[in-house]
A = this chain, B = another copy of it.
Amino acid sequence: MKSDGSSKSDARTKIGYHTKIPRRTHLESLQSGYLFPEISKQEAKHAQNNPHAKIIRLGIGDTTEPIPDIITSAMAKQVYSLSTVQGYSGYGPEQGNKEIRKAIAETFYQDMGVKENEVFVSDGAQCDISRIQILLESSLSAAVQDPSFPAYVDSSVIFGRAGNFQAETNKFRDIVYMKCGPENDFFPDLSATPRTDVIFFCSPNNPTGSAASKQQLKKLVEFAKANGSLIIYDSAYATYITDDSPKSIFEIPEAKEVAIEVSSFSKFAGFTGVRLGWTVVPEELLYSNGYPVIKDFNRIVCTCFNGASNIAQAGGLACLTAEGYKALRTAVGHYMENAKILVDTFASLGRKVYGGKNAPYIWVHFPGLSSWEVFSQILKKTDIVTIPGIGFGPGGEEYIRVSSFGHRESILEASRRLRKFL
């Protein structure tokens, strides 16, 4: 047994018993730390150096507004029923309760032909992305929007489909990075994109805030279909769309043959800590041998997962009642007003600003500057935490992502500081 102090020394210098279990080579190629914990560390360091700073967090996209009473009441009712003989229930179906699967199909996929048995309720979209990774052979190739939410690349690294990290390009060797910027209306140039087995696509995109149009998604589905590729579509921010951009890939009818959609109650209902999401796997989606993907996904859900919390599910069901849904629009509206304040702030500073219209994220351009440097300067000068764009891929360099999740007074204070110090 080693002394307590040894845990702080460099791991590789430890003297102690070693098992014969090799470390997975894929894990060795993961970069310095998952982006969000890394940001938290930098923030903690800043707070330590500046104990009186009133830090405003516009970094990690974490909801801040209370959950409407109608929804917490439904959860509390479920909680109390667990204390009664009549109301107690144990394991539910691994795929989620029938009522909420049905309500999700009807609320978000009306007229798209998504059936309740194609909806799998989960503890969140990020967790479902890894469950989908379990489905796939590690030899399959993958493409991501560049920039995009880091979990697609990081989970691809963990599951062994990314290859080595190339420091000179800031890319993993076997991942195809589909550049999305103002020059292509934040939609990849598919004519220049090589075929991959899997295409991760997030719309509205995190971090750019850009939502793909129906015409663009049609092209994406055609591209996938021509290549026999699988689209893993992340619609976690769909409820923030204000224009006529599709809220689901399944608004394109043929998408059911090539796409899985993951989504979430996190940003829509303030459930980031409650944990509730879902995945739609259409029956029409078939492997090359004709076997339905839904059957394997169901098996993985039953073996590697055991269903979302019954309390969270009761809350989710309340979100999808007419009254609950209406109450949630208020919070979404609040964050989108915040977005407008932040867009105006950066625009007034002469910056090119994207996003903030169909998503609660603002994507600000700082031409010629390193995004980590911009992040550090903003933190230093204004005590505001943002996210350096490069954390979302090499295409995010020169940008920062600013989240509009926050109380109004924080957003206004952030706006004042930015106007004054930047």
Q: A341 interface residue, CB < 8 Å from B? A: no
Q: Is the CB of B18 within 8 A of A286?
A: yes
Q: How far is the CB of A32 from chain B (nearest CB, A)?
A: 11
Q: Is the CB of A140 within 8 A of B253?
A: no
Closest to A134 in B: B158
Q: A287 interface residue, CB < 8 Å from B? A: yes
Q: How far is the CA of A315 from the CA of B383 in the complex (A)?
A: 35
Q: How far is the CB of A347 from chain B (nearest CB, A)?
A: 28
From A101-109, A296-304, A359-367, the one touching the partner chain is A296-304
Q: A251 interface residue, CB < 8 Å from B? A: no
Q: Is the CB of A17 within 8 A of B257?
A: yes
Q: Is the CB of A89 within 8 A of B303?
A: no
Q: Is the CB of A17 within 8 A of B60?
A: no
Q: A194 interface residue, CB < 8 Å from B? A: no
Which of A18, A36, A63, A129 has the most chain B CB atoms closer than 10 A to its own CB?
Answer: A18
Closest 9 CB pairs of A and B: A20-B228, A130-B304, A90-B272, A62-B90, A273-B310, A23-B287, A17-B257, A72-B83, A275-B309
Please, could you name 29 A-B residue pairs with CB atoms under 8 Å apart, sorted by A? A7-B283, A11-B290, A14-B292, A16-B257, A16-B290, A18-B228, A18-B289, A18-B290, A20-B227, A21-B229, A22-B287, A22-B289, A23-B287, A23-B291, A27-B135, A37-B94, A60-B91, A66-B82, A68-B83, A76-B79, A82-B274, A85-B407, A89-B273, A90-B405, A130-B134, A133-B304, A158-B304, A274-B309, A275-B309
Given A14-B286, A123-B275, A158-B304, 13 extra CB contacts under 8 A: A11-B292, A23-B289, A36-B302, A37-B94, A37-B302, A64-B90, A66-B84, A82-B270, A85-B407, A123-B309, A134-B158, A274-B309, A275-B308
